[in-house]
């Protein structure tokens, strides 16, 4: 029996290239969720009183809230009591350099297929392109590189628990301002039990000297991951942030309810890129990650700009709407997304562009690719407030269907209260034409390579928006995600 299981596991692991677990001793909070869990997490992180109060308030609020069910998703009941809310790799002496990093963790990064550039950085290769990595291994940041160079530029790039201790005023000022605690069920849960995450502050007039990056990785079995990211770009600042994720294979569904808050003040720009490749579950939809994330940006200042780019290939269920609240005059919001679903995956994703400022503009480009027995939904909102003059929005959502057992859905909401607004929405649904396939295969490509090529072309407008390191990985991912979907 045991061998059978092991064999089955090995076979399953083979299918998911990044499905593995590494043995790192873990310190776990007791299973279940109650006020004590919240206190435990807070105490474990040595948080100040105000933070604990904030968490407890959120927890009390969460208990009153009802799980939403309006999305086009079939979500099995999540048992919030049957999960660990805190896991931390066993304390090792504090690290001075990356070489001292737990070799287990280091190997994990290697298997993750972290973009070569970043691997070099992690390995300490000289002359490697500068990318700062704040690695989140389960719930605690274990290594932060390039801190010094960033410090010289005045950029604060810390784990959020460190930031709470070192820069309480900054955190207090912005935490929960973009995504209020009571915003939604999952954001509220996150506020109560968030384990760690990233804090970035770019001071006035500073262009962040390198791209910042965090690798999220869910490792411990049954550990809900509740990341909290807060990025503040002060007047005239610029920062580009990369977020990439893979997760090891698990039998039980794992909930990921992160919150990402971005704030752009006058003339500031934030570029936020995500490649998400968490475990999608096996072909019957068993296992896999639930990715219920609240991402929102506040374009508070004049001429501020936020650009979201996401490549979503993993997770059993993806449910997120990276949004922009465009309060500033002439502010700009952008959303570029590729969402691939295969097997039994479900995705309900899109964006919200809330135009409150004069002359604010937004662009939405969404490419949905469904294969296997999956469902892929674009859901978006463009809202124009009565006071927002001369708003422009352009939305394009294209769907590509591979096979006739999958679904593609488009649910755009348009709410306009100002006549000077110009809102355009375009959508298409198509399949890969036989002509295209025939042409590519007649040139010697096998069918899978041909599909990958065509799909990459379909998603080109979005992939172009990704930083170099990510673009390569993302292209590879698209191909891998669609393996076995044709023929």
Phi/psi of residue 257, nearest 5 degrees: -125, 80
Give the residue, chosen from 65, 170, 411, 486, that forms a contact with other proteins under the rule CB under 8 A: 411
Residue 12 makes contact with other proteins by CB under 8 A:
no
Name the region of 344 (left: φ>0; alpha: ψ -120 to 50; beta: rest).
alpha
Bridge partners, 318 (sequence order): 291, 347
- Give the contacts of 38 (CB within 8 A, at least 6 positions apart): 52, 55, 56, 59, 192, 193
**Shortest Å distance, C-beta 109 to other proteins:** 39
Name the region of 176 (left: φ>0; alpha: ψ -120 to 50; beta: rest).
left
* Per rule CB under 8 A, count of chain residues that contact other proteins: 33
**Shortest Å distance, C-beta 428 to other proteins:** 7
Residue 75 makes contact with other proteins by CB under 8 A:
no
Residue 73: how many other CB atoms lie within 10 Å: 16
Contact between residue 316 and residue 343 where contact means Cβ atoms under 8 Å apart? no
Residue 444 makes contact with other proteins by CB under 8 A:
no
Binding mask 417-436 for other proteins (x = CB under 8 A): xxxxxxxxxxxxx-x-----
Name the one residue in this structure whose structure tokens are 């998703």: 73
Please, is 271 exposed, middle or buried when counting C-beta atoms within 10 Å of its C-beta (0-12, 13-18, 19+)? Answer: buried
Q: Which is nearer to other proteins, 242 or 421 (CB)?
A: 421
Q: Considering only 3-11, 359-367, 414-422, 462-470, which stretch makes contact with other proteins by CB under 8 A?
A: 414-422
Give the residue, chosen from 83, 132, 175, 416, that forms a contact with other proteins under the rule CB under 8 A: 416
Q: Considering only 23-31, 111-119, 277-285, 415-423, which stretch makes contact with other proteins by CB under 8 A?
A: 415-423
Measured between alpha carbons, how far is residue 419 from residues 333, 415, 422, 423 in Å? 20, 11, 8, 10
Residue 113 makes contact with other proteins by CB under 8 A:
no
Distance CA 334, CA 310 (A): 11
Contact between residue 265 and residue 233 where contact means Cβ atoms under 8 Å apart? yes
Q: Are strands 87-89 and 26-28 parallel, antiparallel or unpaired?
A: antiparallel
Can you give the C-alpha Rg of the chain in angstroms? 22
**Shortest Å distance, C-beta 410 to other proteins:** 4
Residue 447 makes contact with other proteins by CB under 8 A:
no
Give the residue, chosen from 99, 151, 415, 446, that forms a contact with other proteins under the rule CB under 8 A: 415
Residue 399 makes contact with other proteins by CB under 8 A:
yes
Residue 169 makes contact with other proteins by CB under 8 A:
no
Distance CA 188, CA 73 (A): 20
**Shortest Å distance, C-beta 179 to other proteins:** 20
**Shortest Å distance, C-beta 319 to other proteins:** 15
Q: What is the secondary structure of 432-455 as a DSSP string?
A: --HHHHHHHHHTT--HHHHHHHHH
Distance CA 366, CA 337 (A): 5
Give the residue, chosen from 156, 212, 408, 474, that forms a contact with other proteins under the rule CB under 8 A: 408
Binding mask 180-209 for other proteins (x = CB under 8 A): ------------------------------
Give the residue, chosen from 75, 128, 414, 486, that forms a contact with other proteins under the rule CB under 8 A: 414
**Shortest Å distance, C-beta 409 to other proteins:** 5
Q: Considering only 242-250, 335-343, 395-403, 462-470, which stretch makes contact with other proteins by CB under 8 A?
A: 395-403
Q: Considering only 145-153, 261-269, 318-326, 409-417, which stretch makes contact with other proteins by CB under 8 A?
A: 409-417
In sequence order, which ranges of 271-404 are alpha helices (DSSP H)? none
Strands (DSSP E) contained in 72-226 are 87-89, 131-137, 140-144, 156-159, 196-202, 211-217
Q: Which is nearer to other proteins, 222 or 418 (CB)?
A: 418
**Shortest Å distance, C-beta 53 to other proteins:** 30
Give the residue, chosen from 356, 410, 475, 485, that forms a contact with other proteins under the rule CB under 8 A: 410
Q: In the range 364-393, which residues lie near other proteins by CB under 8 A?
A: 386
- Max Cα-Cα span within the chain: 69
Tell me which residues touch other proteins (CB under 8 A): 70, 386, 399, 401-429, 431
């Amino acid at each position: 029996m045991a061998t059978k299981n092991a064999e089955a596991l090995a076979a399953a692991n083979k299918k998911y290239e990044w499905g593995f677990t590494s043995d790192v001793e873990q310190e776990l909070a007791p299973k279940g969720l109650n006020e004590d869990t919240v206190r435990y997490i807070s105490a474990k992180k040595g948080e100040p009183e105000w933070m604990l109060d904030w968490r407890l308030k959120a927890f009390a609020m969460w208990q009153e809230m009802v799980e939403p069910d309006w999305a086009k998703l079939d979500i099995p009941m999540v048992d919030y009591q049957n999960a660990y809310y805190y896991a931390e790799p066993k304390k090792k002496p504090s690290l001075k350099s990356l070489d001292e990093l737990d070799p287990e963790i280091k190997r994990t990064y290697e298997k993750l297929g972290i973009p070569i550039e970043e691997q070099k950085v992690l390995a300490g290769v000289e002359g490697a392109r500068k990318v700062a990595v704040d690695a989140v291994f389960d719930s605690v940041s274990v290594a932060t590189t390039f801190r010094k160079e960033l410090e010289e530029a005045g950029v604060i790039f810390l784990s959020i628990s460190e930031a709470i201790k070192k820069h309480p005023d900054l955190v207090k000022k912005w935490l929960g301002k973009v995504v209020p605690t009571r915003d939604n069920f999952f954001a509220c849960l996150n506020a109560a039990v968030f384990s760690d995450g990233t804090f970035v502050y770019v001071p006035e007039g500073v262009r962040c000297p390198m791209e910042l990056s965090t690798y999220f990785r869910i490792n411990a079995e049954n550990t809900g991951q509740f990341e909290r990211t807060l990025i503040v770009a002060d007047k005239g600042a610029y920062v580009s942030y990369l977020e990439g994720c893979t997760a090891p294979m698990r039998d039980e569904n794992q909930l990921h309810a992160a919150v990402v808050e971005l704030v752009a003040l006058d003339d500031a720009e934030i570029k936020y890129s995500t490649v998400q490749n968490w475990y999608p579950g096996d072909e019957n939809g068993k296992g896999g990650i639930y990715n219920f994330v609240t991402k929102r940006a506040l374009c508070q200042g004049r001429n501020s700009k936020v650009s979201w780019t996401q490549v979503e290939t993993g997770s059993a269920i993806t449910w997120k709407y990276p949004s922009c609240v465009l309060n500033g005059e002439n502010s700009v919001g952008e959303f570029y997304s590729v969402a691939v679903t295969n097997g039994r995956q479900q995705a309900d994703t899109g964006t919200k562009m809330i135009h409150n400022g004069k002359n604010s503009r937004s662009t939405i480009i969404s490419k949905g690719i469904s294969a296997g027995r999956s469902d892929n939904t674009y859901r978006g909102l463009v809202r124009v407030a009565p006071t927002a003059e001369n708003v422009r929005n352009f939305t394009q959502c294209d769907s590509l269907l591979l096979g006739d057992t999958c679904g593609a859905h488009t649910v755009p909401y348009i709410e306009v209260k100002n006549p000077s607004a110009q809102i355009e929405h375009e959508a298409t649904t198509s399949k890969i034409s036989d002509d295209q396939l025939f042409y590519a295969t007649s040139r010697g490509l096998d069918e899978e390579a041909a599909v990958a090529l065509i799909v990459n072309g379909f998603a080109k407008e979005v992939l172009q928006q990704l930083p170099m390191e990510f673009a390569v990985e993302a292209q590879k991912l698209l191909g891998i995600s669609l393996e076995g979907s044709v023929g």
